[in-house]
Amino acid sequence: MSRHPLKTAQSRPFPLEALPFLKSVPEGILLNIRVQPGARKSAWVGLMGEEIKLSIQAPPVEGAANQGCLTFLAQWFKVKRSQVILLKGEKGRSKVFLIKGLTLEKGRSLIPTQSPDQLE
């Protein structure tokens, strides 16, 4: 299986220090995500501008995709589900999540940047 970095929309790998979708706030970190609901499986996909793209298995009906995002992010960042809060984008595909208690350094270390294997 070939290994290549997570790519931007322009098909260039991005450096770990420059993660435009990740921001530190006093409560934890903010994560800007572009969600693709109804996917075959839930996984990180790549970058779309200032957002990281996440495909979610749940359908886009009655908040199921939002709940799928909350569960996926809690498992990915190894925090309780109650620590992941949807701040913006309840009805849209562009969303902003707060992950309480997570430092920017820890968040950066858990973001997939090296290979597709890290995206699942």
Q: DSSP characters for the chain?
A: ------B-TTS-B--TT--TTEEEETTEEEEEEEEEES-SS-EEEEEETTEEEEEESS-SSTTHHHHHHHHHHHHHTT--GGGEEEEE-SSSSEEEEEEET--HHHHHHHS--S-GGGG-
Cut 0.85: pTM above it: no
Residue 111's pLDDT is what?
Answer: 82
**CA distance between the termini of the chain:** 15
31-112: CATH architecture: 2-Layer Sandwich (3.30)
**Per-residue pLDDT, 13:** 47
Query: What is the structure's pLDDT at 36?
Result: 95
What does the pLDDT profile of the chain (120 residues) look like in tens digits?
A: 333 334 433 334 445 556 889 999 999 999 999 999 999 999 999 888 889 999 999 999 999 999 999 999 999 999 999 999 999 999 999 999 999 999 998 988 888 764 344 444
Predicted pLDDT at 82: 97
The ranges assigned to domains in the chain are 31-112
Q: What is the pLDDT of residue 48?
A: 85
